Amino acid sequence: MSQLHALVVYVPDSHAEAVRIAIGDAGAGRLGDYSHCSFTSPGTGRFTPLPGARPYIGTAGEPEEVSEVRVECIVEEDVLDAVVQGLRRAHPYEEPAFMSWPVNGHR
C-alpha cells in the first residue's frame, strides 16, 4: 500500500465527466472494491489570461468567470503521476488548476 494523496481539480462543467473518467481510469478514486470514487461541487472559476496565453475560454488581458466543477478524490502515490497525466490530457485548459497533498487514510 502506498501513501494516499488528496487530489482536487477545477474543470469547466462541459469537461467534468471526461476529467473524472480520465483520472479514474488512471487509478484515482480506488477504495476497496470500488473505483472512480470522487466528490464534486459547483463553483465559479475566475482568471485573467496574461499576454502570450492561449486560453480555451476568454481573451488575453480580459478577466473571465467560468462555471466550473471542483472534483475531489484520493489517489495512491504510486499512480499519482499517471493520474496527473490523464488529468492534463482530458482537461481543456492550457494550465489546469489542481493540487494534491498527502493524507492519512485507512486501508
pLDDT in tens, the chain (107 residues): 689 999 999 999 999 999 999 999 999 999 999 999 999 999 999 999 999 999 999 999 999 999 999 999 999 999 999 999 999 999 999 999 999 999 986 55
Is residue 50 left, alpha or beta, with left meaning phi > 0 and alpha meaning psi from -120 to 50?
Answer: beta
Nearest Cα to Cα of residue 13 among 50, 41, 48 = 41
2, 77 in Cβ contact below 8 A?
yes
Q: What is the pLDDT of residue 61?
A: 95
Q: What is the pLDDT of residue 13?
A: 96
Nearest Cα to Cα of residue 70 among 4, 26, 12, 5 = 12
4, 30 in Cβ contact below 8 A?
no
